[in-house]
Amino acid sequence: MLRYSALAIAAIVPFALTSPAQAAQIKMMASGAMSHALQDIGNEFAKKNGHTIEYTVSTTGVLQDKLRGGEKADIIEVTSAGMDQLEKEKLVDPSSRVEVARALVGVAVRDGARAPDISTPEALKAALVAAPKVAYIDPKIGGQAGQTIVSLLQKLGINDEVAKKSVYGKTGAEAVQKMVAGDGDIVISFTSEILPIKGAKLVGPLPAALQNPSSYAAAIPVGAPNPELSRALLREMTGAEGKKMIVEAGLEPIAK
């Protein structure tokens, strides 16, 4: 089921409350690459415990700025490098930090379209050059995926050529949606942003020689309204069921 489509969304997922006096609303900030898995984990947690969860999905840079601007959250998940910066700025509790997962970059086409050969760097280059339009996240947004994809295109020596026929999304998922809608012919995005979207067919991950996994971490922001619930939810993310959902979302759990 498609969960998001814009740069930043806030969706409240309600469940029947086991006890109104004990119920709480938990606010989670999540990156696009991790959002599908974290919504599955969060919704299951809320269902078992009688809470509601409000999700804000965006890029690491946007989520960092929300905390800097004083916006409150119970959990924030961003790239590991982004979390390092939040720790330096004393915006999160470092003792709460957990490394959650790695995201791999992949390539997708529309359902029914011929899957190109991307098994080698040379084959991937040929596929991207041949495609009339290539979709991916707008590098100017500041997301990890944008930086990773630009680096990939530069390594292949086709950055300028592809830029002329690029179709940008504000998130990786939006880029995938645009490809599915016919605005693009091939899309490059994290596999975890491809798999949830109906109409997109994952061709596969990038060749190993080009793959540069991005790591993601979660922590409790300073001044979180529900710190104890946040710690419990972080334990769910790194537990057996959480890891299972992470794998199902196309991500690689990070061992403790």
Among 133, 184, 123, residue whose Cα is nearest residue 156: 123
CATH of domain 9-102+215-253: 3.40.190.10
Locate the domains of the chain by residue range.
Answer: 9-102+215-253, 105-205
Question: What's the CA gap between 166 and 160, in Å, rounded?
Answer: 10
Residues 6+ apart with CB under 8 A from 105: 145, 148, 149, 152, 188, 189, 190, 191, 205, 206, 211, 212
Assess whether the region 9-102+215-253 and the region 105-205 belong to the same CATH fold.
yes
CATH topology of domain 105-205: D-Maltodextrin-Binding Protein; domain 2 (3.40.190)
Q: List the chain pLDDT tens, one digit each, 256 residues.
A: 344 433 444 444 443 333 444 678 999 999 989 999 999 999 999 999 899 999 999 889 899 999 999 999 999 999 999 999 999 999 999 999 999 999 999 999 999 999 999 999 999 999 999 999 999 999 887 567 788 899 999 999 999 999 999 999 988 899 999 999 999 999 999 999 999 999 999 999 999 999 988 899 999 999 999 999 999 999 999 999 999 999 999 899 997 6
Question: What's the CA gap between 19 and 158, in Å, rounded?
Answer: 58
Tokens representing 175 are 């880029």
Residues 6+ apart with CB under 8 A from 95: none
Among 166, 160, 168, 165, residue whose Cα is nearest residue 141: 168
**Residue 108 and residue 201 in contact, taking contact as beta carbons nearer than 8 Å:** yes
CA 173, 240, 61, 106: dihedral to nearest 10 degrees? -40
